[in-house]
Structure 1
Amino acid sequence: MASHVFMIRQETAPAQWWFLSLAFVGAAYAATVTLRFVAYLALCRCHRPKDDLRRRYGKWAVVTGPTSGIGRAMALELARHGLNLVLVGRDPAILREISGTVRSLHKVKTKTVVFDLSLVWTPDGDEPLRRLREAVEGLDVGVVVNNAGVAKPSAVYLHEADVEAWVRMVRVNMSAVTEVTAVVLPGMVSRGRGAIVNIGSAGSEYIPSLPLYTMYAATKRFVHT
């Protein structure tokens, strides 16, 4: 009986070793992510501007995708701090609505640029990009918020979605971020001040793998780097 019990212990020991090893790796990863997040919060707190945003960065801000969600909240918050806004989106009616809301609530100036960012780096995207350059020309643009993003197609295998859908995601999540930033960056450099805010995703920062969202996570990782 004693030898039989001994054999059972010998067989279960490797399983316990693997379990403890995996638990240690998981705990180490969780601790790393937590420390990075805490460090990020501490950095944000330390670098919170003590003076007003207009004086620190500039009188104008450019916000892409300002008609809903994070983009709308960012636009309203920047306006609350007194920044005039250049609002960039693809739906003229909703752009007019958010523009009117911002002006009525916070008494700031606004400009709207109708721009389907999925057309960046195509012939159809040249004209709206030119209009964006004209809209910001001569303005003291101190903040740009690259918020516009595409998450569709959602959870699918690569071969299940149309190729054009992936191309559209890359254009909006990567190419548009580059182009919009390039429009305002020279002015920021010449004035020696400015802030570029790129809206990323936890799916590319804190999760080592995002099955069925590989393309989305990859494009958002571009934003983080």
Structure 2
Amino acid sequence: MADAAPWFFLFFSLASLGAIHVSTAAFRLLAHLALCLRRPRDLRRRYGTWAVVTGPTSGIGRSMAMELAGRRGLNLVLVGRDPAKLREISTEICRTHAVQTKTVLFDFSLVSTAQGEKAMARLREAVEGLDVGVLVNNAGIAKPGAVYFHEVDVEAWARMIRVNVLALTDVTAAVVPGMAQRGRGAIVNIGSGSASLLPSYPLYSVYAGTKRYVAEFSRSLSVEYGSRGIDVQCQVPFLVQTNMVSSALKSTFLQQFVVPADAYAQAAVRWIGHGAVCVPSVPHRMQWFFAGCWPESVYDAARLEQHQKQRAIFRKIRPWRKTVGNSAKDGRVATDDKIGSGVRSE
């Protein structure tokens, strides 16, 4: 009988830990569902009448802009690099919703250059005097996609860091002073499950690193400005269906976890102000839960294999090589910009 005691204690301990884990997951899911059923916040009344959205011409950014204007009635400052697409989304919003819009031309890959400083000055001028209540830092890039670190010229990685890290930081710095003066505001930074929730993201290492910055930056700013009426939040999507998705890549994903951009935006806007880090989409929360059921070593091996398959697809679609010589000086890489990572923000 004495020999059975240690085994009974071990079994009881493991069963208790399992019950605690399941209970915690169930509590989080119930809290998520409760928020989905709760009456949406009045963002205009709580934060302000204007929102700034970066990268608003496609994907998550476009859907977020339409959601903020349509359901929430916020006026919009749209910040992007393509003048024709900015005019298009601005015209569509004004035609379909009773809101005002402003557009600011800004190529975020030029941050920390003379052109970037001029664009930042235009952004500061555009928001001056506006009751900016919400900032959505959505703009980001994942290209050149699934590659080993050494296979792409370092300028491609530098460009990714400028867009995903430096631009987000600069745009936030342009908007925060006004929010602090008014004593209210919400900052939404679009992060990625690849950095905040998953143990590794091989062949997208620099992308995951930039998104890890977004998560930590958001957490710390949330503490820093929470007492001043500013809610800072990192929203964490996994797979979101956008126009960038290559049909050749779709077979590598579980489609039930790939959320349409409009559905993601509707959930994301509802989550504004609820927590420093959140996963707005129910399918994405399920994906997070299932990923956590595997040992890290098993997950790492499976993710590496999946991304190697993606890499093979990219190479088959359009062969590429590491840039050298003049192309490296231009910051060009021998990959197709349109295939990118295939999916916006995992």
Instruction: Say yes or no: TM over 0.5.
Output: yes
Aligned partner of 2:64 in structure 1 is 74
Superposed counterparts of 1:1-225, under 5 Å:
35=25, 38=28, 42=32, 45=35, 51-80=41-70, 81-225=72-216
Contact 1:84–1:109 (8 Å) recurs in 2: yes
Per-residue CA shift, 1:19-69, capped at 9, x if unaligned? xxxxx9xx98xx59x8399379549929x7755211111010000000001
Per-residue CA shift, 1:172-221, capped at 9, x if unaligned? 11111110011010110111110000001111122101111110001001
Q: CA 1:134–1:104 in 2, change beyond 3 Å: closer, same or farther?
A: same
Q: C-alpha distance in 2, partners of 1:201/1:222?
A: 10
Q: Alpha carbon RMSD of aligned pairs, Å? A: 2.6
Percent identity, aligned pairs only?
65
Q: CA deviation at 1:126?
A: 0.7
Q: C-alpha distance in 1, partners of 2:30/2:123?
A: 32
Q: Which has the larger radius of gyration?
A: 1
Aligned partner of 2:278 in structure 1 is none
Q: C-alpha distance in 2, partners of 1:49/1:121?
A: 42
Contact 1:49–1:56 (8 Å) recurs in 2: no
Q: Which has the higher helix share?
A: 1
Give the count of matched residue pairs: 197
Q: Which one-letter code corresponds to 2:54 in the other structure?
A: T
Aligned partner of 1:14 in structure 2 is none
SS where residue 148 of structure 1 aligns? coil
Q: C-alpha distance in 1, partners of 2:139/2:62?
A: 11
Q: CA deviation at 1:86?
A: 0.2
Q: Which runs of 5+ in 1 are unaligned?
A: 1-23
Aligned partner of 1:15 in structure 2 is none
Q: Which runs of 5+ in 2 are unaligned?
A: 1-13, 217-346
Q: C-alpha distance in 2, partners of 1:49/1:191?
A: 25
Q: Which one-letter code corresponds to 1:209 in the other structure?
A: S
Q: CA 1:177–1:40 in 2, change beyond 3 Å: closer, same or farther?
A: farther
Q: CA 1:143–1:179 in 2, change beyond 3 Å: closer, same or farther?
A: same
Q: C-alpha distance in 2, partners of 1:162/1:37?
A: 46
Q: C-alpha distance in 2, partners of 1:36/1:179?
A: 39
Per-residue CA shift, 1:63-116, capped at 9, x if unaligned? 000000100010001101110000000000000000011111112100000100
